[in-house]
Amino acid sequence: MEIKRVVITGLGPVSPIGLGAGAFAEAQRAGKSGIGPITNFDASTLRCRIAGEIHADLSPFIETREAKKLDRYVQLALVAADLAVADSGLSREELAGERTGTLVGSGIGGMNTFEDQARVMVERGPSRVSPMFVPMMIANMATGHVAMRFGATGPSSTVVTACATGSGAIGDASRIIQLGLADVMLAGGSEAAITSLSIGGFGNMHALTASHNDDPQSASRPFSASRDGFVLGEGGAVVVLEELEHARKRGARIYAEVVGYATSADAFHVTMPAPEGRGAQVAMRQALKSAGVNPEQVGYVNAHGTSTPANDLNETLAIKSVYGEHAHKLAVSSTKSMTGHLLGAAGAMEAIAVAQALFEGILPPTINLTDPDPALDLDYIPEGAREQQVEYAMSNSFAFGGQNAVLVFKRWNG
């Protein structure tokens, strides 16, 4: 059986630092922070009062009447899909039909809708709960609405693996194309969980930073000695994945090739990573194996890099174990330092960052790394974006529940 090759031909980031591929790339080069005070609700009584919100006007993409029937996470997914398709140059007519599929995941789903309708039930009774409650809340609705928007009747599914969702969606979608079941897949993740319930829950488990409320732009600080938790963000990230010959025939611009993917389980703890990133090591090694790539060929790793004490240490140890002596020759960075942690959209947003890095020869920085943790001694690109062309890059995503997803990309040489 012939295994098809898969390339990325469209990028659709909807992020706290920019909407669209151009704005997102420019913000990374500038080391821009998208973190600020929470405006979605009154967070004045919470430990963490900052987040990576999106303030862009979405009305050019979604009519007001339509938006009222969609949870925010679905809205962000639709905008991301629109941007990715426009960037790819594919028309709606070309996408319609059974050779185009959709795989857009969410770590949580419709949290805004859940909170709103729970409040209605408590205050007014279950008979007043909206009939749209369930179809607005459930986690597969991003995929469903993206498919309906473009008439894509091919393979369709949803990944829900918390913070590994976006990477898992792109990896699973790539396999669908590799097996010849589709020519094009719209894949990625979306999350809109900046709500009082989410911030309260994450904050009370001490997962969120609580020490930078007065200086939000410095709050997400992966690999620093003063890191004390992640910053929640929202966003949508969709890529157009295309079978190589399909892309070539239409003269598509190719950002990068998806060459490796693997998942694993820590089988250790519901929130803490396994010691020394043992589960992450399995996914990283298997992703390299599936790509047919030796560790020494990889030049850049987009780290999961959440800015929590446990993740950053154990991910660093995992990278050292997998890459050996080459680990100190790798460029490593965490774009979460700029966007915050987008949960189910994180892996897909970071895949976009990697595709742009390979295409442009510019590696994104880890901002706010002003006080490096002496126990973390890799090259985390701390001083700003770096002009450096690499041939292969890895993107790591690790989730609550110990679920890991790792992607490997190759620079497109034509």
Bridge partners, 398 (sequence order): 404
Q: Which residues contact 38 (CB under 8 A, 6 or more apart)?
A: 49, 50, 51, 53, 194, 199
Domains of the chain: 6-249 (3.40.47.10), 261-409 (3.40.47.10)
Q: Give CA–CA dist 58/75, Å, rounded.
A: 8
> What percent of the chain shows pLDDT beyond 90?
99
What whole-number distance in Å separates Cα of residue 43 and Cα of residue 196?
7
Cα R_g (the chain), whole angstroms: 20
Q: Which residues pair with 240 in a beta bridge?
A: 10, 186
Residue 374 CB-density burial (10 A; 0-12 exposed, 13-18 middle, 19+ buried):
exposed
Structure confidence at residue 380 as a pLDDT band (50, 70, 90): very high
Give the pLDDT of residue 1: 74
Q: Label residue 37 by pLDDT band (50, 70, 90).
A: very high
Cα–Cα distance for residue pair 87/327, rounded to 1 Å = 34
* Residues 333/365, Cβ–Cβ less than 8 Å: yes
Q: Contact 238/143 with Cβ under 8 angstroms?
A: no
Supply the pLDDT for residue 281. 98
Can you list the positions of beta strands (E) in 266-375? 298-302, 331-333, 362-363
pLDDT tens digits, residue range 174-195? 999 999 999 999 999 999 999 9
Selection from 301, 310, 164 nearest residue 229 by Cα: 310
Q: What is the pLDDT of residue 40?
A: 94
Q: How far apart are the first and last CA of the chain?
A: 24
From residue 86, give the alpha-carbon distance in Å to each of 79, 95, 238, 346: 11, 12, 12, 21
| pLDDT reported for residue 383 | 84
Of 139, 174, 175, 176, nearest to 158 by C-alpha is 139
> Does 341 qualify as catalytic in the annotation?
yes
Quick: pLDDT tens for 86-107: 999 999 999 999 999 999 999 9
Specify whether 163 is catalytic. Answer: yes
Q: Give the residue from 107, 109, 243 showing the smallest Cα distance to 173.
A: 243
Q: Is residue 304 among the annotated active site residues? A: yes
Please check the confidence at residue 143 and state whether its pLDDT lies above 90: yes
The arithmetic mean of pLDDT across residues 47-51, rounded, is 97
Angle at 298 between CA 295 and CA 303, to 5 degrees: 100
Catalytic hit among 48, 163, 212, 246: 163
pLDDT at 414 over 90: no
pLDDT at 390: 98
pLDDT tens string 253-303: 999 999 999 999 999 999 999 999 999 999 999 999 999 999 999 999 999
**Residue in 145, 212, 246, 304 annotated catalytic:** 304
Contact 87, 21 (CB under 8 A): yes
pLDDT in tens, 313-342: 999 999 999 999 999 999 999 999 999 999
